[in-house]
Amino acid sequence: VNPNPTPNPNPNPNLLPSRVAAYLRSKPFTAGAGRRALNEAAQRVGPWVQLRCKGFLANRRQHQQFGYAALQTAQAFRARVRAGGSGWAVTNAASSSSRHDGGDGGRHAFGWRDLFDAAAGWRQLSEPNDPVWWIDELPEASFRAGFGLQTPIVNGQQKVTRYYAYHGKAFAVLKAGMQRELRLPERHPRAEPNPGDGGRSGYRLRLSAAELKAAVAASTLEDAYGVVGQDFWVVTPCASTARPGEVLEGTRLTLVRKRPEVGAPAGAGTLDLGYEFTIRTASTPERWADMAAEMDAAFDALLTLAAQLESEPSANPNPNPNPNPN
């Protein structure tokens, strides 16, 4: 009705772009020598996070956050080392763990999770729209269902640009795992349910001699899938540090036949849609407890090593300055 309405005769001058720009010009960002030194150090360290592989684009903001995260975690770890055996008590309010009450009055000894909390915080700041969270702090039902992280290598007919470089090594690991034991989501005539749950978390299958021969000879995803003719995964072994001699369940390599989506036209089921070949890490409470124990042991070992290095005198703590500097 009125494509050119009369502008507001009394606009708020504080909202005008020209006023905002003028204000920003009058208040330039300033930083002392200490802040400038930290910023320069972060800029040097930041690019280390960049994967120089196909599909991974450079992002200056994420480089910067990585630099700050590296500095903060290094400073925090040094403070923990210098605190000695009694530990460095930090407030529960700064912890992501529900083991702590979160109140300002409570404190706990600084541990590996506090170290990662700093890195997670910087990662959130670098891109607020990206989901960054601790899996064990998801709702209980989601956590117990085994919320998983997934890295696709092949998705149907598509070789995933970022991760296809892993295909050769991952396929070799898949074949080796098939020779030990397969895990199946569905029943199989010779498969046994996982102990204690009646098959709710899948079934276990050891291949026959003929199937083992076929697994060894497999050269494609189709060959590997054809050994048992149904979806499966293998579990990579993970040697325990906390409990030497014990082997834990590591990550999973999963091979699934690609199926038509719900609502696909009739006849789509006859098409060869390929396979989904993925790296998956299921995070159930039991697996999380195992890995948390591993992280505790690794963190303690790192503290011990760092304390030894801290106590060793420098080879030349006060070198004579160069008498003829350039």
Q: Are residues 76 and 192 in the same domain?
A: no
Residues 6+ away with beta carbon under 8 Å from 264: none
Q: Are residues 168 and 251 in the same domain?
A: yes
User: Residue 246 — pLDDT band, cuts 50, 70, 90?
Assistant: very high
Q: What is the DSSP string of 251-311?
A: EEEEEEE--PPTTPPTTGGGS---EEEEEEEE--HHHHHHHHHHHHHHHHHHHHHHHHHHH
Q: What is the pLDDT of residues 85-101, one digit of tens each?
A: 778 888 888 788 877 76
β partners of residue 276: 155, 256
Q: Looking at the predicted structure, is the pLDDT value of residue 323 above 50? A: no
Residues 10, 12: Cα–Cα separation, whole Å:
6
Q: Is residue 4 part of a domain?
A: no
State mean pLDDT over 99-125: 83
Q: Are residues 118 and 168 in the same domain?
A: no
Residues 276, 254: Cα–Cα separation, whole Å:
8
Q: Looking at the predicted structure, is the pLDDT value of residue 13 above 60? A: no
| Average pLDDT taken over every residue of the chain | 84
Domain that residue 191 falls in: 148-282
Residue type present at position 67: G
CA angle, 82 as apex, 81 and 85 as ends, to 5°? 70
User: Can you say how many angstroms the Cα of residue 108 is from the centroid of all Cα atoms in its chain?
Assistant: 25
Spatial CA neighbour of 185 closest among 263, 264, 252: 252
Q: Around Cβ 275, how many Cβ atoms within 10 Å?
A: 21
Query: Which is more confidently placed, 141 or 63?
Result: 63
User: Residue 1 — pLDDT band, cuts 50, 70, 90?
Assistant: very low
Q: What is the pLDDT of residues 255-305, one digit of tens each?
A: 999 887 766 666 655 667 899 999 998 888 888 899 999 999 999 999 999
Q: What is the pLDDT of residues 35-92, one digit of tens each?
A: 889 889 999 999 999 998 889 999 999 999 999 999 999 999 999 999 987 788 888 8
Q: Which two tokens stand for residue 252?
A: 């999973």
Give the number of domains in the chain.
Answer: 2
Residue type present at position 322: N
Q: Is residue 22 part of a domain?
A: no
Q: Are residues 189 and 65 in the same domain?
A: no
Spatial CA neighbour of 294 closest among 248, 325, 227, 260: 248
Query: Which is more confidently placed, 283 or 28?
Result: 283
Q: Are residues 97 and 212 in the same domain?
A: no
Q: What is the pLDDT of residues 122-137, one digit of tens each?
A: 998 888 888 888 888 8
Q: Which two tokens stand for residue 263?
A: 């609502």
